[in-house]
Amino acid sequence: MNKTYSGLTSEEVRILTEQGEVNESENRLTRTKKEIYRKNILTWFNFINICLFAVVAVTGRFRNGLFMGTVLFNTCIGIFQELRAKKLLDQAYIMNASKTTVIRDGKEQEISPSKIVRGDLIVLDSGDQIPVDGEVLDGYIEVDESILTGESDHIGKEKDSSVSAGTVVTAGKAYIRADRIGKECTAAKIMAEAKKYKRAKSTLHADLEKLLKIVSFVIVPVTIGLYFFQKMVLDMVWYESALKTVAAAVGMIPEGLVVLTSIALAVSTMRLLSSRVLVQDLFSIESLARVDVLCLDKTGTLTQGKMETVAMEPLNGLSQAEAEKLIKSYFYNEEKPNATSAAIIRRYPAEEIYRKTEVLPFSSDRKYAACALEGEGSLWLGAPGFLFPDGCGLNEKISSYTSGGCRVLLLAASSQETCRSGILPSDLKPAALIVLKDVLRENAGEIMDYFKKQKVGLRVISGDDPATVSALAANAGIPGAEKYADMSKAGSDYDSLVDEYTVFGRVLPDQKKELIAALQRKGHCVAMTGDGVNDVPALKTADVSVAMASGAPAARDCANIVLLDSDFAVMPQIVDEGRRVINNITRASSMYLVKTVFSVLLSIYVVLFRQPYPFLPIHLTFISALGVGIPTFILQLEPSFERICGRFLTGALRKAVPSSAAVFMIALFCLYLRSAASMDTERGYGVLVLLTGTAYLFTLWRVYTPLTKLRIAVIAVMVAAFFAGILLFPNTLSVRLAQEDLPVVLGSMAVIPFVILLNAKIYEAAAGKEEA
């Protein structure tokens, strides 16, 4: 590719842009502000709450509509956090977004793919995702067309070949002309689907969706039935029946939990972004926190990604000087050399001693590259085992290097003056061994120690020699690093391989994917780190994927989490942040679900046994604010790094159901007491609110045990505020305290903790039998 190209001129680009000949993309980086407002305001739960408030407004008892304050507050917080997240995420993504190199006015320029015009001259390199349909004008590339065909074979593209948008360059370099753009691309629809990154698997998201569906199904028929039952059967006046129905409905809606979850995850993305970690979807934080196996490549994780050439050994009688000439000629005119090539070039500066006539770019499937030299045959450079599958008599020499953590490349020579086919010549002979060494990260040992302490299993999956990778992994302190498999010879029993080995070398892209899938079949939650095009299939297969911003655009775009500084050292921070937010959400959800569960039970009871609903909306608003909303909001940012196990909803219900049952029993007791003691309405409400508040505050203590100084302070303030509220605002709360009720109230308050603990034992026993 020695030809000079000038591409389109600026004036031609301007005219084509005005004519609409632009590769416009309908894909937006993030939601628009309008979408954020709509998503947070026009929700099913907001609609239900607005309808309930409208009912309260019609009765004129506006103090019972205080629940709308919580709804409005949560909605405003959600909008604020998402707008802030949008701003920061847009800025971060724009800074790290994939760019396309084009030639205009005779110069290379990096532009957004959406700025490409018809006829643009585009420069493609390994790792690029092709943005348009076009024709190869010069050069040679290999393209992964699996997005279009489903076949994983890499297709060679040379001059006059056509290429399609959405496919990925896996090797080589070429110039193409943009012929079909935007919606004209033959694969436009397929590409739009294929470019969608796979969302991280989230237990939290799945359980929340399940909960919301159940509540949505229950709330409408129950509240309608409750209203007409109280009005017609119990002969209540319409406004009293309406208020009690609203109280039941407010109790069943866990809107605070849903919004708290979104806010907590959004805040976590902000915290991580300040550490240069871009989270592409909120729930991937949870997924990484649940990971129990982390698969990583050595480059950029165990090592700094900076290689150095430590030795070169000529073979078969070749002199040192002649071997250096061949190496210098091989690397001459190599554009954008990778880390390996750059390390060799630093030691042996490229020079055109022999002129290149053909180039076969490196492929992660082949594990070798080649070039043809005019009058000198061809040179082949790559992994010894792939250049000479049957061996070349150098095993002992190579092992002496790899056992020390070095990487060995073999330069082989042939009299054949062509290499484009990729087929190894029959007269291929070893010419020189090139020995390189990766520089181990200074903090690699600390990072690995962190994951060992967190009981996260580690697997190293690399395309390099297994002995080399094993030695590096051992130096980094990875347990079981001495157990390594050469995947070029290991067979296809992946389920057994992942149990037996820790380090996997000579791994092909499809094998990476199969190893990840095998770990998932074993019941593991798997995270995968990667930075190359060859990592994309495995990244998409993993439960959660992490990519380096400095890596290939295709890898970065499909990952759930992107390390903007390509610094693997932040991984412990990501896991800790995920565990903190999910553990705190789980605790908070237990408190929110108390109200939901007992409200459903109570609503069904009053209909079946012809009883009035015992609560007013303001009672539940007051109790929920001090027993749930305020304390959980304050405690949400607490450190909490315990490993996450089990399902989110199951864990939340274990603490919620016993307390829900207790509140249900309290309500029945108060209904009986009101009738037996001939209490007036406000006096009955006073006993009910005191006992229900006691149950909530004890549950708060139980959920947040073991206690810390912050937890003790928060619970103490909530207890004080609860009793102060009842004493100072009895009219607002529609309660009245009578001295003759004091023995019953104090006795009941003393019994409530024991009732909750007894309920917990019964629930645990029942849950244990069901699991068995």
Which residues are marked as active site?
297
Is residue 274 packed enough to be buried (19+ CB in 10 Å), middle (13-18) or exposed (0-12)?
exposed
- Which are the contacts of 80, defined by CB distance < 8 A and separation ≥ 6? none
Strand pairing class (526-530; 503-505): unpaired
Question: Would you put residue 491 in left (φ > 0), alpha (ψ -120 to 50) or beta?
Answer: left
Edge-first strand order for the sheet with 429-440 is 303-314, 429-440, 406-414, 377-382, 368-373, 356-363
Q: What is the distance between the alpha carbons of residues 433 and 410, in angstroms, rounded to a whole number?
A: 5
Q: What is the distance between the alpha carbons of residues 144 and 138, in angstroms, rounded to a whole number?
A: 19
Edge-first strand order for the sheet with 277-279 is 277-279, 561-563, 544-548, 526-530, 293-296, 457-461, 503-505, 484-486
Q: Which H or E run contains 395?
A: helix 395-402
Q: What is the distance between the alpha carbons of residues 677 and 3, in angstroms, rounded to a whole number?
A: 101
DSSP 376: T
Residue type, 404: G
* Degrees to nearest 5, angle at CA 303 with 302 and 309: 145
For the chain, the residue count is 772
Give the C-alpha distances (Å, rounded to integers) separating 705 from 136, 402, 587, 595, 631.
66, 52, 10, 20, 14
Strand partners, 526: 293
Closest to 180 in 3D by CA, of 169, 191, 171, 168: 191
Instruction: Report how far Cα 576 is from the mean position of its chain's Cα atoms.
Output: 14
3-state SS, one letter per residue, for 638-702: CCCCCCCCCCHHHHHHHHHHHHHHHHHHHHHHHHHHHHHCCCCHHHHHHHHHHHHHHHHHHHHHH
- What is the per-residue burial (b if ≥16 Cβ within 10 Å, else e) of 202-215? bbbbebbeebbeeb
Instruction: Extract the tokens encoding 193.
Output: 């689907």
Q: What is the distance between the alpha carbons of residues 20 and 432, in angstroms, rounded to a whole number?
A: 55
Query: Which SS3 state, helix, strand or coil, does residue 3 take?
Result: coil
DSSP 405: T
Q: What is the distance between the alpha carbons of residues 760 and 303, in angstroms, rounded to a whole number?
A: 50
8 Å CB contact between 367 and 377: no
8 Å CB contact between 424 and 431: no
DSSP assignment of 541-597 equals HSSEEEEETTS-HHHHHH-SEEETT--GGGHHHHHHHHHHHHHHHHHHHHHHHHHHH
- Which are the contacts of 450, defined by CB distance < 8 A and separation ≥ 6? 572
Q: Is the dihedral of CA 214, 220, 221, 225 positive or negative?
A: positive
DSSP assignment of 185-243 equals STTHHHHHHHTSPPPPP-HHHHHHHHHHHHHHHHHHHHHHHHHHIIIIIS---HHHHHH
Q: What are phi and psi of 405, to 5 degrees?
A: 90, 10
Instruction: Extract the tokens encoding 522.
Output: 């074993």
Instruction: Give the N- to C-terminal CA distance of the chain in Å, as an integer.
Output: 68
